[in-house]
Amino acid sequence: MSEGKLLNDAQLAEVTGGTAGSNEWKTVCNLQSGYLAIRTAPAADYNNEINHTGLVNGDVVQVTGGTVMGTTFGGGSARYTWVYAPKYGVSGYVNAAYIK
């Protein structure tokens, strides 16, 4: 049996096809309606929304984790980024298309 090896964020992102976190502060933008959900998984599903609340245009988040591919409500693909949202004091996945 081989010994396991711990991977850092950048190595894990490379293996999973995503990118590593940057700790940059970014702003939520381009929402046409509703809110940007903070999720426990990179998939558009009402059941994985944290507190069933979300971010609106102008809210800030800190990118603390990597970016991975996930799914949209229509079954398409989208990139999700792990962020810390100080507005709610929680971390989770958000659709990366709405943060700049």
User: pLDDT by residue (tens digit) across 39-55?
Assistant: 999 999 999 999 887 99
Q: Give the H or E element holding residue 14.
A: helix 9-16
Asked, for residue 51, whether it belongs to a domain, the answer is: yes
Asked, for residue 4, whether it belongs to a domain, the answer is: no
Contacts 24+ apart (CB under 8 A), 43-47: 43/70, 43/71, 44/70, 44/71, 44/72, 44/73, 44/78, 44/95
Give me the numbers of helices (H) and strands (E) for the chain, helices first please: 1, 6
Asked, for residue 3, whether it belongs to a domain, the answer is: no
Close Cβ partners of 75 (under 8 Å, ≥ 6 residues apart): none
Number of domains within the chain: 1
Domain of residue 66: give its range: 9-98
The structure's pTM equals 0.78
For residues 86-95, average pLDDT: 96
pLDDT band for position 1 (cuts 50, 70, 90): very low
Q: Quick: pLDDT tens for 7-39.
A: 555 555 555 555 556 789 999 999 999 999 999
Q: DSSP state, 9?
A: H
